[in-house]
A and B are shown apart, each in its own frame.
Chain A
Amino acid sequence: MAVARTMSAAKKVILPSLVKKYLMAGSGIILVLFVLGHMLGNLQFFGPPEMINAYAYHLHHLPGHPVTLWIIRAFLLACVVVHIAMAVLLVKENREARPQNYAKQGFRESDYAARTMPMSGLIIFAFIIFHILQYTVRVVPEHYNATIGQAPVEVSHLQLEYFDVFAMMVKGFSSPVISIFYLIAMALLCMHLTHGVASMFQSLGVRNEVWRYRLKCLATAYGCFIFIGFASIPASVLFFGHGKAYLAEKEAEWAKTPAAEVSVIDAQAAHTQFVTLNEGR
């Protein structure tokens, strides 16, 4: 019939809708697992400063260093890119598929988290950029490499001097603005995960009516767990002054012997020494 024909001018399909969903869910799983690992690692912040500093040292000196780290970073970045690309496609196509909205749409099933996935995702993305600039590249809001000195770490019974990650974290979270931004971002991440984790099972076809509610609870619990884990760090600094005494002590120490970029080179030298030592065993 006439109307049917005019509208059946088939839409050009860039990627089958289900493939988009698989990519979304697949990249989501990687990121969900990364977030968990990242959080568990960071909880070492509540141990002695040497603990997280040693952890940071190990992360930067994985077997196959430095290629391994860059492969992992590239892989995670790829996941983020895929995740975002799919999100952009989905949002664009889904808006096109509903050109006109209802006077007032009623909702029965979907929660706020589900309906705000694009927005929470966007803010989380902005947060990730900030986060990397702050603690990985260490250029925002200040050049930590210039302001933070070294601290002793013990690696395989060897005493080394390495960049003081603990001090950097304390310094970073001492700023209420940054801490609150982190708290908000983590809350959004929690929300994003409560929908995302349950949803990825559905997208990959491993969910049914019985498990739907269980997975929803599990996803909510997971989101909250991640939130508590991550949020505890800025919160402890901001509200309980965790590590501030240590930072003050260290800053006083560095003021006496100003440390510069050299420290990194030192650390690398130390590593070479460490590897040699290990090989010698």
Chain B
Amino acid sequence: MDLHLRVWRQKNSETSGKFVNYELKGVSEDSSFLEMLDILNEQLVEKGEEPVAFDHDCREGICGMCSLVINGMAHGPERATTVCQLHMRHYSDGDTITIEPWRAKAFPVVKDLIVDRGAFDRIIQAGGFITARTGSPQDANELLIPKPIADKAMDAAACIGCGACVAACPNGAAMLFTSAKCSQLNLLPQGQPEKDRRSLAMVAAMDSEGFGNCTNYGECQAVCPKEITLDFIAKMNRDYAGARIRHFFGKAI
């Protein structure tokens, strides 16, 4: 199929970017979206133009590196699908496709379609962990975890940290990401000792990174390639409120 592409090109974080149009011919419908970009890049190299920089790695929907907004939709039109798993059969010959990077203040563009998602790492560094010294903890089966709890924690843990939630949120809020990690650990018995501390620290880190505030649009859930639900945001809202109250009365931390 032949395509008209409108791709965001930006030299680096200091310069401003613009859309550039490209015509691409002979794309197989079995190709993935990123393979389509590979073809574009090969053609650009042939012409001596600089290829489009975009983040990608595993190309099987799990590493969370790929990050494209396609026609205004983070990760493209398919539900529960990362860009790397999106295939060209969902497009038709002659389509115009607009490709942009994630847009949020907390995710500055590094180059072209690549953004810096270091803010996510810093949220985890603030409290997205269980303090468990390497060594010999108790036997894994001494800690009984009801299956529904383990399953729910796994639902949250499925987050790949791609940042589509932030990209899709008109507020640039990182609630879905933060709440998924926070809730995963807060749900499990292992995570209880640090629960309040974690909730407070992760929200504080999230706020200080310059993400927006949640206004319950639900766009994050709709684009999440791992279908993480707003339940976890509700849970974090609940956990944080509890932590705040206990903290206020001096019981926490």
Contact = CB atoms under 8 A, between A and B. Distances in A.
A202 B233 contact: yes
29 contacts: A1-B118, A4-B118, A6-B13, A8-B209, A11-B209, A13-B208, A16-B204, A17-B175, A17-B211, A22-B237, A93-B212, A96-B105, A96-B210, A96-B212, A97-B106, A97-B171, A97-B211, A98-B103, A102-B69, A104-B71, A109-B217, A109-B218, A109-B222, A110-B218, A114-B217, A202-B230, A204-B238, A205-B234, A205-B237
B210 A115 contact: no
A3 B72 contact: no
Nearest to B77: A106
B173 A4 contact: no
Contact of A105 (B13, B72, B106, B239): B72
A110 B219 contact: yes
Given A202-B237, A205-B238, 18 more contacts: A3-B110, A8-B122, A13-B208, A17-B173, A17-B213, A22-B237, A93-B213, A94-B215, A97-B104, A97-B172, A102-B103, A103-B72, A104-B72, A114-B216, A199-B216, A205-B236, A207-B234, A209-B230
B170 A98 contact: yes
B61 to A, nearest CB: 19
B212 to A, nearest CB: 3
Given A18-B241, A103-B98, A3 B217 contact: no
A262 interface: no
A156 interface: no
B173 to A, nearest CB: 7
A20 interface: yes
Interface in B224-253: 229-231, 233-241, 244
Contacts of A195: 216
A201 B1 CA distance: 48
Contacts of B106: 7, 97
A204 B171 contact: no
Nearest to B223: A108
A97 B217 contact: no
Contact of A104 (B98, B175, B209, B238): B98
A245 B236 CA distance: 58
Interface in A187-244: 195, 198-199, 201-209, 212
B208 A18 contact: no
B73 interface: yes
A128 to B, nearest CB: 21
Nearest to B109: A100
Contacts of A4: 116, 118
A104 B170 CA distance: 12
Interface in B168-193: 168-173, 175
B222 A108 contact: yes
Given A8-B122, A10-B208, A11-B208, A205 B241 contact: yes
Nearest to B207: A13
Contacts of A117: 215
A3 B235 contact: no
B155 to A, nearest CB: 10
A82 interface: no
B85 interface: no
Contacts, number: 163
Interface residues of A, number: 50
A11 B116 contact: no
A117 B212 CA distance: 16
Interface string B5-22: 010000001000001000
A98 B211 CA distance: 8
A8 B211 CA distance: 12
A212 B218 CA distance: 11
B164 to A, nearest CB: 11
Contact of B213 (A6, A21, A199): A21
Contact of A19 (B168, B210, B244): B244
Contacts of B218: 109-110, 114
Interface in A91-139: 93-94, 96-110, 114-115, 117
A51 to B, nearest CB: 40
A94 B213 contact: yes
Contact of A115 (B104, B170, B236): B170
A11 to B, nearest CB: 4
A90 interface: yes
A76 to B, nearest CB: 23
A208 B105 contact: no
Given A8-B122, A106-B72, A17 B206 contact: yes
Given A17-B213, A115-B217, A199-B216, A3 B118 contact: yes
In the complex, the 6 A-B pairs of residues with the closest C-beta atoms, listed nearest first: A205-B238, A97-B212, A97-B172, A106-B72, A205-B237, A108-B222
Nearest to B213: A17
A6 B210 CA distance: 13
B62 interface: no
